[in-house]
Homo-oligomer: A and B are copies of this chain.
Amino acid sequence: MLPGVGVFGTGSTARVLVPLLKAEGFEVHALWGRSEEEACCLAKELGIPFHTSQSDDVLLHQDVDLVCIYIPPSMTRQIAVKALGIGKNVVCEKAATAVDSFKMVTAARYYPQLLSVMGNTLRFLPAFVTMRQKLVEGYVGELQVCDVRVYGPSLLDQSYGWTCEELMGGGGLHTVGSAIIDLLSYLTGARAHRVHGLLRTFVQQNGLIRGIRRVTSDDFCFFQMLMGGTGSGSVCCTVTLNFNMPGSFVHEVMVVGSTGRLVARGTELYGQRNGSKGEELLLDDSGWVGPEVKEMPLPHLRGLSSMVKALRQSFQAHEERRSWARGPVAMAPTFEDGLYVQTVVEAVKRSSCSGEWECVEIMSQEPDPNHNLCEALQRNKN
């Protein structure tokens, strides 16, 4: 039986998610927005019976068994941890810092019977599901290189907000890079141990963000990750993110191995084995019918839709509406994956400051908050 859903957030993802949930048979009972007005407006638009700006009203709502959290990264940890504490299943977006991610991991470990997945959606995209399968089957031979490019228009909101602020979780690396970092660990079955990166904010002010306000979040980022193995045995991943390209959207993930290569362009998958004359189309995803959303690139939209389907399958398997089966969502990123991704993001940022390769060291205990404060102050200086 499908659980009742409560949604946090009134942004573009929440706006897309609700219809997808409904299409799969979920009932969305409650919506939270930062202001009463935003919540009211979107609830009316999407036909959600209850709305509020008090998080507890959703978390304690008796019909809500599954909480979907798509809000600014800096607020995610608080809601996610509280939701688990109250006994609700959680799907959420990334947090703002590794410390926050670590707290979420702690909570998820404490409530293993509750569903806790990162709403990172690229893993669910059929092109990447097939790509992973082909990699496992040995289509490319020994994996050597992954090369990812995402180009698009600015990620900044219309008005000044968290998307402009690096420390609030804004920027291409945090917003889009996170999804790529997660995807690459899913595809390769390995984790980055060393990273190198360079971040830039080319557009620091625009027509809407001016005066004393400046954008600090990156609009250009490239980073390299050495994954699995060490030395020459490791896989080299290069990722280029450029969000100074209005009017374009490029989303290309290529993996190259000793005997062939695979490349996902948008939602389609192509492959070529060494010795063959040309690329073969391995997955044509163009037949997909679903909403077209201007703010959300098709791979993310399509992935979100597949994730919602997986959630439906997971919950449908059980009679009790809070129970779920692990199978259909086994490929979803866990909160541990979220911590890993956040750790890589922070290592790339460190590398951009230091100019050096930085090690990816996953936090194993919560840092002393005072020490953390000092670090935050230091980072502010840069």
A247 adjacent to chain B (CB < 8 Å): yes
A78 adjacent to chain B (CB < 8 Å): no
Complex: how many Å from CA A236 to CA B196? 15
Complex: how many Å from CA A381 to CA B260? 32
A198 is contacted by which of B220, B236, B245 (Cβ under 8 Å)?
B236
A274 is contacted by which of B201, B247, B256 (Cβ under 8 Å)?
B247
The 8 A CB mask of A114-156 against B (1 = contact, 0 = none) is 0000000000000000000000000000001101010000000
CB distance from A255 to the nearest CB of B (A): 11
The answer on a CB contact under 8 Å between B147 and A242 is: yes
A256 is contacted by which of B144, B201, B244, B256 (Cβ under 8 Å)?
B244
Of A149, A196, A356, most B-chain CB atoms within 10 Å:
A196
Instruction: Give chain B residues whose Cβ lies under 8 Å from the Cβ of A247.
Output: 272, 274-278
The 8 A CB mask of A335-360 against B (1 = contact, 0 = none) is 00000000000000000000111000
Query: Which residues of chain A from 23 to 47 have a CB within 8 Å of any chain B CB?
Result: none
How many residues belonging to A are interface residues under a CB distance threshold of 8 Å?
Answer: 35
The answer on a CB contact under 8 Å between B145 and A242 is: yes
How many copies the complex holds: the figure is 2
Instruction: Give chain B residues whose Cβ lies under 8 Å from the Cβ of A113.
Output: none
A246 adjacent to chain B (CB < 8 Å): yes
A222 adjacent to chain B (CB < 8 Å): yes
A220 is contacted by which of B222, B236, B246, B272 (Cβ under 8 Å)?
B236
Complex: how many Å from CA A236 to CA B202? 11
The answer on a CB contact under 8 Å between B272 and A144 is: no
A interface list, Cβ under 8 A from B = 144-145, 147, 149, 196, 198, 200-203, 220, 222, 224, 232, 236, 238, 240, 242, 244-248, 256, 258, 261, 272, 274-278, 355-357
Between-chain CB contacts (< 8 Å), 10 pairs:
A144-B200, A145-B244, A147-B149, A202-B258, A242-B256, A244-B256, A245-B256, A245-B261, A247-B274, A247-B276
